[in-house]
Amino acid sequence: MPHDTQALNRTRQCFAGLDSVWVFGYGSLIFKADFPYIERRPARIDHWQRRFWQGSHDHRGTPEAPGRVLTLVEVPGSSCKGMAYRVHPDVFAHLDHREKNGYLRFETAFHFDDGSEVNGLVYIANSDNAAWLGPAPESDIAEHIANSRGPSGPNDEYVLRLAQALRELDETDAHVFAIEAYLHLLAAQTDED
Ligand code: SIN
């Protein structure tokens, strides 16, 4: 798969005739909505979990020193709470550019708190993309994140803002919260030095 997934994403779904499309955010799309949306609602998708297994060459790191950002991995029986946005199809030009470093759009069902359901799109980076970093111990992931930064800012800001946004959504994510705790520990150690 190429480094830049924009052209591939344009071929994946056809938006002709649609006034709006739902897109699910589970990472930075929760805390940084830098695009116009018609409405947004907390939602969950089933059988997916967050993991800091994707490299970031363009936001929280560089091609020479990639940061670590989220993707989703399939875990049957699990669920992932995030934010669903209903957007005009034109907004996908911006979203495809923002998520171009390895993410592809997939269609899935979104479940809202009131029991209703819609189909929408979610950006997922699979292990066959060029920026994939894969699993590592959470303490190592935290150390990597503590030492990375890119054009969108320091990598640890991604984790800290996301953890805060997840608490506001009443979502407990053991992986994200463990890495956040390691980051606090590392910052305390740096302060002591
Ligand atoms: C998302 O937030 O839904 C995708 C991953 C990211 O941009 O952090």
Domains of the chain: which residue ranges?
6-192
The amino acid present at 133, given as its one-letter code, is: L
What the block records as the tokens of 180 is: 């956040």
Query: Does ligand 1 come within 6 angstroms of the Cβ of 101?
Result: no
**Whole-angstrom Cα distance, residue 127 to residue 85?**
26
Q: Which tens digit of pLDDT belongs to each residue from 31-90?
A: 999 999 999 999 999 999 999 999 999 999 999 999 999 999 999 999 999 999 999 999
What's the CATH number for 6-192? 3.10.490.10
Q: Which tens digit of pLDDT belongs to each residue from 136-171?
A: 999 999 999 999 999 999 999 999 999 999 999 999
Helix residue ranges per DSSP H, 1-130: 6-10, 28-31, 91-98
**pTM for this entry:** 0.96
What the block records as the tokens of 37 is: 């949306």
Q: Is 2 exposed, middle or buried (0-12, 13-18, 19+ CB in 10 A)?
A: exposed
Ligand 1 centroid to Cα of residue 188, in Å, is 28
Residue 99 known to be catalytic: yes
